[in-house]
Amino acid sequence: MRALLDLIRNADADSSVSFRERVYRRGEQGELLRDVIALANAAVVGRRFLFLGVNDQERSERGFPGVSQRSWKNFCVVAPDFLARTVEPALRITLQQVEIGNALVGALCLERCEDPPYLLARRVSATLPAGGGWIRRGIRQRRLLRKHLQRIFEARFKREEVGVVAVGFPGDLPREELMLAVMPLDDLPSALAAHKISRKLESKRVTKSVLGRTDSRIARLVHAQVSDQNVPYIEQGTKTMLVKLREIPHDNAVADDYYRYELRAHKLNLLLNNFGSKTQTDLVLTLKIPRIDGVEVAEHVYSAPGSRALKHDMYPKVDVGPKTIAVQVAGLRIPGRGSIEAFFEPLRLILREGAAGQTIRIAYTLRGPMLEKPVQGRLKIFAIE
């Protein structure tokens, strides 16, 4: 129950988690079918959740208006039978409720959706014919098309061929898709430092053009506006500030790198699941990430300014090529029926504005002496603003 509460409070809506403000009413059976079938068909490993009684509107704080006890009990009686009659193959559904303050939140959990595609078993209405279906990608739901069905069957065949080990993004719900935000460099140290000096130079220029001379009082005022309170004012001439302006990229190189590749980077890891009873040893995982505008991978861990350099031997090996970025880690060991994170030190993935709206497809290959053949597949990262 605690894990469910954490999901309701903190999980982002994505391919495996959906929020709705109220229980489905009479005449909204089509919406229920669309929401449930779309979740069932999503490219996700593990459970999927539909939470009722949660307001998750974009750009607003998550609210919990809750649902009434009566409407939730009625839903628990009607929904399982309705879904059993209208969706094929059969879904494994559990219904739970969680109290958040005085609000009751209902949770419809899809346990294991291992037999996609999930479709309408019969005609429900003129707009919901037998054989219809939907798929969820991120927070969007679309009608199932031929291309979606082809991808679903290809993924199924790959899983059946692999059988022993699966690769996915870690978390409460291991998945094959992930949504990550782009991270602009709004506070790049060198840019901030250059802005402060430029403001001081501009004030000198304006003051001299108006008064015919510089004015230390105005210079002190501008200094107070652009500098930290504990930085004392020191009178500087225009030539001195121009020299400092030219030296800013060099003086801030370490701080810039730390900001770019550590503070403004996603720390990405992968989860390796061993479904067999035998321990898998000496595994080698290789990723291939396309080199596209706005996508980078740090080649090592960058230390904070003034701190001791970190050892990089625990960071994955990164090889940046003209078209792809290859990432490799060796010597992995997964106990039987167990799972591990692939990287001891998470991979630093950088997403900038140029990547917004794009899908980054990461090809992976897992090799090992006890695997009959390499485990191969693709993971997707949706870059959002």
pTM value is 0.62
Identify the band that residue 61 occupies on the pLDDT scale cut at 50, 70 and 90. confident
pLDDT of 278 > 50? The answer is: yes
C-alpha distances (whole Å) from 48 to each of 4, 76, 93 are 11, 17, 10
- Percentages helix, strand, coil for the chain (3-state, rounded to 5) are 30, 30, 40
Return the bridge partners of 17, or none. Answer: 49
pLDDT at 274: 85
What is the pLDDT averaged over residues 7-31?
Answer: 90
| pLDDT, greater one: 191 or 385 | 191
Q: Is the pLDDT of residue 81 over 70?
A: yes
Q: Is the per-residue pLDDT at 363 higher than 60?
A: yes
Q: Mean pLDDT in the chain? A: 87
**Domain 2-162 fold:** 3.30.950
Structure tokens at 11: 């999980």
Q: How far is 6 from 98, CA to CA, in rounded Å?
A: 11
**What is the pLDDT at residue 162?**
45
Query: Are the beta carbons of 151 and 22 closer than 8 angstroms?
Result: no
CATH class for the region spanning 265-384 = mainly beta
CB 23 within 8 A of CB 106: yes
Q: What percent of the chain has pLDDT over 90?
A: 55
Q: What is the 3-state secondary structure (H, E, C) of 105-157?
A: EEEEEECCCCCCCCEECCCCECCECCCCCEEEECCEEEECCHHHHHHHHHHHH
Look-up of token digits 């994170």: 341
Closest CA to 291 of 358, 365, 364, 347: 358
> What confidence score (pLDDT) does residue 15 get?
86
1 vs 195, higher pLDDT: 195
For residue 263, what are the CA distances in angstroms to 90, 298, 330?
A: 46, 12, 27
Give, as one character, the DSSP assignment of residue 55.
B
Nearest Cα to Cα of residue 28 among 60, 63, 4, 52:
52
CB 308 within 8 A of CB 301: no
Structure confidence at residue 226 (pLDDT): 66
Give the HSE-up count for residue 295: Cα atoms under 13 Å, Cβ half-sphere. Answer: 23
Residues 250, 190: Cα–Cα separation, whole Å: 9
CA atoms within 13 A on the CB side of 323: 0
Q: What is the pLDDT of residue 315?
A: 93
pLDDT of residue 311: 60
Determine the pLDDT at residue 218: 67
Largest CA distance in the chain: 87
Say yes or no to pLDDT of 261 above 80.
yes
Q: Rounded CA gap, 357 and 354, in Å?
A: 9
Give the residue-averaged pLDDT of 220-227.
Answer: 68
Domain coordinates in residue numbering, the chain: 2-162, 189-261, 265-384
- What pLDDT does residue 229 have? 65
- Given a cut of 60, whether residue 309 has pLDDT beyond it is yes
Instruction: Write the pLDDT tens digit of every residue in 156-180.
Output: 666 555 456 888 888 655 678 888 9
Identify which of 219, 213, 218, 212 has the alpha carbon closest to the alpha carbon of residue 235: 219
Mean pLDDT of 78-103: 94
Percent of the chain with pLDDT over 70: 88
Q: Is the pLDDT of residue 339 over 60?
A: yes
Determine the pLDDT at residue 321.
95
What DSSP state is assigned to residue 385? -
R_g over Cα of the chain: 27
31-55 pLDDT, tens digit per residue, is: 999 999 999 999 877 789 999 999 9
Mode of pairing for the β-strands spanning 17-20 and 48-52: parallel
